[in-house]
Amino acid sequence: GRLVGWNWHGAQDGDAPASGTVRLAGNVQLGSPRSAAQAAPGFAPVADSTLGEEFALGDRIGGFIEVDAVAMLYAGTQCFFR
């Protein structure tokens, strides 16, 4: 097999707590304020996303903002139901 995508989010429904973090350009990571994501290189809101407040960082990385903070980061192939 090969890695075709990744998804980093906080613990949900019984997940073990995260033991590390993913930090992107501009120090964007889970919990970063909206302003940090907006100031990161390549930031663009995803217009008309049916999944919530979604953003892109360039053409390879994306994420979601909830309650004015980064709640999820992802890249590559995802199985999002739109």
- 7 lies in a domain? no
Domain that includes residue 35, residue range: 24-82
Distance CA 65, CA 67 (A): 7
- 28 lies in a domain? yes
Question: How many domains is the chain built from?
Answer: 1
Q: In this predicted structure, what is the pLDDT of residue 27? A: 83
Q: In this predicted structure, what is the pLDDT of residue 53? A: 96
Give the dihedral of Cα atoms 34, 71, 20, 23; nearest 10 deg. Answer: -40
Give the phi and the psi of residue 2 in degrees, each rounded to 5: -145, 150
Q: Write out the chain's pLDDT in tens, 82 residues.
A: 898 998 888 777 788 877 777 777 778 999 999 999 999 999 999 999 999 999 999 999 999 999 999 999 999 988 887 7
- 61 lies in a domain? yes
Distance CA 64, CA 53 (A): 6
- 49 lies in a domain? yes
